Structures are given as C-alpha cells and as structure tokens.
Chains A and B, each alone.
Chain A
Amino acid sequence: MIGINNIPVECDVLVVGGGIGGLMAAISAADQGAKVVIAEKSNTKRSGSGSTGNDHFQCYIPEVHGEDMEPILREMNECLTGGYLDQDLTALFLKESFDRVKDWNKWGIDMRPHGTWEFNGHAMPGRPRIFLKYAGANQKSVLTNEALKRGVTIFNKLPIAEVITNTSGEVIGAIGVSIESEKPELKIFRANNVILTTGTTNRLYSPKTGGMMFNLGFCPSCAGNGRAAAYRAGAKLINLDIPNTHAGPKFFNRCGKATWIGVLKDYEGKPIGPFVTKPSKELGDITADIWHGVFGIKNKAGEPVYMDCSETSEEDIQYMLWGLTQEGDTSLLNYMDDEGIDVRKHMVEFSTYEPFLIGRGIEINDKAATNVPGLFAAGDEVGNFRADIAGAATFGWIAGKSAAERAQDIKTFEPAEKSSIVEEKKQFYSELLSREAGTANPSWKEVNIALQQIMTDYAGVEVRSEHLFKAGLKYLKDLKGKAISTMYCQNSHELMRCLEVLDLIQLGELIMLTAQDRKETRGKHNRVDYPFTNPLNNNRFITVQEVEGTAEIKWRDRH
C-alpha cells in the first residue's frame, strides 16, 4: 500500500505548479498576506517551459505605444497567440502587463537590457510591435527567490494529482504524490483556494522524432495535470477543439522561432513569404506565425523550408545569438558550436512540431477564477486567453490576488484527507505499484505511445472527420480500460508518469468530443467532411464540463 503522510498541509492558497504563472500567483497572494504553498513537480528554479529563459514578453507600454490601447488590442488578436482570446481578459491583460514588466525589472530580470523598452520580433512590417525584448535567462531563479522572500513554502518534487471538493462542489484541498524518494508518498493539502498553473499539455501526439517523446519545444513534464484535475473537479474547459502547433529547427525541437533573425527560404534560396527579404532585428520573418501550414504545405509540394540568416548584419546576428541565450536555447547554441553550424553561412531547416495544448484549457473570468468555487487557473493552461509568458505573469498575479482575497473570507478548513477520493486514489495508486513489471504488463511509456498514435491519426491536423472522431473515441476508451486495468509502475517517478498518461488520455477524449461538435473547418481543425469555415461560428468557443458523469458540450460567444 502506498504511504500517506498523516499530517495534512494547511494553507490559504495552494499553487499547483511553480512555473512563471505559479510563482507570480504565489508572490501576489503572499503580498496580500495569505499563507501560500507551491507544490511543484520538479523544482521551481528550473521547471516548466520558462525553465531556462525567454526573451520576448507581450505587453502594452503607453510611453512606447501611445495612449490608445486599441491598436495593441488588435495586434494581440492578430499575432501568433491571438485567435481565441476573450476580449475583456485581453484588455485587462494589456492594462496590467506593464506593471508586471516593472515588477520583474525591479526584482532583477532585465526587461530593458539595451537601455530602452525595445519591441522586436513576431511583428509585421508597418504594424505596432508588441513583444518586449528582455533578458529572461535568470527568470526562474529570480521569481523563486521573490516567492521565498515573502515566506512562500515551496514543495519541490511534489506533483498534484487531484483537486478535492466537498459535497457542495467547493474546493477544500488537493492530493499530491511526492516523488522526492524512490518510494512515493501521498501528501494531502487542506486549502480552500487552489490555483492551477501546470502549463502546456505535451506528449498527446506522436513526436516528429520517432520514439523520442521528450524532444519537444515546450516542457514535456507539462502533461495536462491541471486541466484534467480541473475537469474532474467540475471546471469548464474551453477551445480544446482547435489544434495548435509550434515550429522551429527541424527535429531539434526548440521554442524561439521569432528570436531567429532571418528569412524563410526554399531549397534554392527563394523567400517563401511576402514579409521580408532583408531581415533585421525589428523584423525577422513572420511568415510562419501567419501561415501556420507553411511547412506542411511546402513539404507536400516537395520543398524543404530553411531559416536563412546569411544576409543578416553581423550586429543583428550578435543580437540574435544573445536573444537565443536569453530565450533558453543554450543547448541549441552549444550544439551548433560543436557541429560547426554557423548561421552566417548555413541555412537551417525548419518545420512544424506536433500539436499540443497552449491557450486551450481551463476557462477563467477576470479574477482568474473558474466556475468551481475556490479553483483558479493561470498561464498556459488557460483556454480563453493566451499570451504565453506574459499571460502567465499577468494572470498568475491576478489569480494570486483573487485567491488571497477569497481566503480572507473563509478561515476554517475542511478535513480534505477524509474525502472518499483520497482512499479511492490510494487504492488505485497502490494497485499500479503492485502490478508485475517487465513484459507481463504495459509501462506508462507503452500507453503514452499508443495514445499518441490514436491522437495523431484520429484527431490530427491533417484530416479530421466525424467517423475518425467516433472511431478514435472508441479506441481511446479501449486504451483507457487497458491502462487502468494493467499498467504498472515500480517507483514514484513511474507513478507520476502513469498518472500523467491517464490525464492525457482524458484530455484526448475531450479534444475529440469537442472537435466532433465543431462541424466546420477552422485553422488546423481540418474537417474534410465540413471543408468550409462557417462565419456564424466566428468568435464562438466550445466548452466542456463534467455534469453528472457525462461531458456536457456547449457553445458560447467570445466576450
């Protein structure tokens, strides 16, 4: 039987995941006087997709952009993170984003590394630029220190598996599974306010590099735990139906596409997009931001696509290499050095990466609250707003403040450790640990690969249809049954992965169910049985919520 720590941890605000959103939520809640705990799967100093850095932060700075926010709002909707944003949240984000920039700058993340507020990259010629260039390589250690300074307790190596609610459906705590030692141990939290900030959802689709499911741009440990736990606790998820893909160097999957200052070209060296022929730090090639299908379409036409920086000035090359360092792409830079790949004379092939969830997930309001009392969410796992690192910083801050305010009104704790879900999960995790390892049963990895195959073929970005979704849902149900009844784990690390893969299957089902309801083609939701884009569905979002054990799907207008 899996061990359980008999002393529940009590706190006003429990933050699940110590990435950018989680650390900002914790700092903000602590500033309001709340007792705050972060439960982090790895270590807040290096966890999540902001692990080793970032160099661009969306924001609105009136002294740069002017007093009228409208043009910046429009740019937000039209840039690569736009498309599925509630406008009230977007306006709120823009209004508060500069305050977060100033906070970070004050704390020691250099937001003005070249002396001025400098906006470059992810920009179209003649349009306002909304991505602030900054030096974010130290961001995780700085934010961790700021949280600790305010008395936040950080439990590293403690993934949260479930949110606990009472019979009225209010949050009363959470179940964590410590992976600190080889033997897992359950840790129960009593908390009336839980903020979910578990990032993107990766490992849903087959990786571009065969068998290497951790070779990803975004952090592969981010496996949708927050979204799945939120759904099980009764929260609404939104916009899961529209797939999202990132792009960058082919096979060496990294973020930072817009940090490259070059032109996307074909094999012969002919530019493929209309935006730039001579790259500069202000305007790299935005083609891949705008034309999401560019790599696939060109590849199908027999054309590989290259990032060519050979015409970039030496000054801008230096700027780009500095940017890649701040972006956290030092592994890529080290590799290029070792291999003698020089961006001044070599062009590097780029391609699209596998689909993942970012800006598709938990529905929040302007307090970063979900529909479940006491449950909040921020960062990459929010489904009705997206601004990547800046979104995590800004809505993390809002979530922390809202949760701390709510904590002032509710001062007593319910005995979350006595909830039936705790015993139920204890039994289930013990069973996973007790199963025979080796060849007799499937490992989490086997289940994950099987899931990725089904997702790629039945809910992919090439072809989607009613029959594929129906068949895919049946196959996922079969897989889930087998995983629950036969999957094994031998230690805490493998137990964490087993729970991740079960969450991924659940999200896979919800993707198929919601996408099945969108009977039109939109973006990479390519319904071959409904090839048109229905204008009546413009700015209409699909939500899904568990109601009495079934997935209730609804449509709503963007607000």
Chain B
Amino acid sequence: MPPVINKEECIGCGVCAEICPCDVLHMTGEDVPQITYPEECWHCNACVLDCAVQAIKLRVPLPAMMLYLEARE
C-alpha cells in the first residue's frame, strides 16, 4: 500500500509526516518515517512532491488500478 519509502535515500527530515493530509505517516523515533496508516492514503502525492530527496513513490493498490483499452480507429 502507498507510500513506499526508499530507506537508503530517506534523510529522515519528517516533512512527509508533517504534511500528509490524512496523517498516514509518523516519525516515531526511527530514522525513517513509519507508514502507520497505509489504508488511509488517498493517493494525493503530497509526500512524493514534498520529499526533498525523491525517496518516496506511491504504489497504487490493485483495486484502484486504471482500466483502459486501445482507442478505436
């Protein structure tokens, strides 16, 4: 479930935990933020956009997978 944090890249600044609109991430004394409530992510991308070192990506869960077809000629 989103977000996914690259622990090698993360500098532990805590910005993502500060700004998450749904209070999904928390700094709990670890070096990297904990994704405490993954099910409460609304895929807004705020953490991805605000991460200074691009250490966060979203993994969009399969139930939210986009459904598409080849466009018709």
Is B51 among interface residues, defined by CB-CB distance under 8 A?
Answer: no
Q: Assuming the A-B contacts A330-B45, A331-B44, A349-B68, are A252 and B23 also in contact, with contact meaning beta carbons closer than 8 angstroms in the complex?
A: no
Whether, in the assembled complex, A234 has its beta carbon less than 8 Å from a beta carbon of chain B, the answer is: no
Least CB distance from A270 to B in Å reads 9
Chain A residue numbers with a CB within 8 Å of B37 are 493
Q: A214-B41, A331-B60 are in contact. Are A251 and B65 (CB under 8 A)?
A: yes
Q: Is the CB of A341 within 8 A of B20?
A: no
Contact with A along B31-48 (1 / 0, CB 8 A): 000001101111111101
Q: Does A452 contact B (CB under 8 A)?
A: no
Chain A residue with Cβ nearest B23: A493
Tell yes or no: B30 within 8 A of A by CB: no
Q: Which of B23, B44, B50, B68 lies in contact with A348, CB distance below 8 A? A: B68
Contact A269–B72 (Cβ < 8 Å)? yes
Report which of B42, B48, B64 forms a contact with A219, defined as CB distance below 8 A. B42
Interface residues on B, range: 20 to 34
Given the known A-B contacts A52-B46, A268-B72, are A43 and B19 also in contact in the complex, defined by CB atoms under 8 Å?
yes
- Is A215 in contact with B43, judged by CB distance below 8 angstroms? yes
Chain B nearest CB, measured from A155 CB (Å): 13
In the complex, the answer to whether A335 meets B60 with C-beta atoms within 8 Å is yes
> Within the complex, what minimum Cβ distance (angstroms) separates A77 from chain B?
31
Q: Roughly how many angstroms separate A41 CA and B48 CA in the complex, as a whole number?
A: 20
Supposing A43-B18, A212-B64, A251-B64 touch, asked if A331 and B23 sit within 8 A by C-beta, the answer is: no
Give, as a whole number of angstroms, the nearest-CB distance from B13 to chain A. Answer: 14
Complex alpha-carbon distance, A250 and B64, angstroms: 8
Q: Which residue of A lies closest to B1 (CB)?
A: A212
> Is residue A206 within 8 Å, beta carbon to beta carbon, of the partner chain?
no
Determine the residue in chain B with the shortest Cβ distance to A19: B21
- A252 near B43 with CB under 8 A, answer yes
Q: Residue on B with the closest CB to A269?
A: B72
Q: Judge whether B58 is part of the interface by a CB distance below 8 angstroms.
A: yes
Q: Given A215-B64, A220-B22, do A52 and B39 touch, yes or no (CB 8 Å)? A: no
**Is A45 in contact with chain B by the CB < 8 A criterion?**
yes
Q: Would you give the 0/1 interface string for A307-336, flagging 1 where the beta carbon is closer than 8 Å to chain B? A: 011100000000000000000101110111
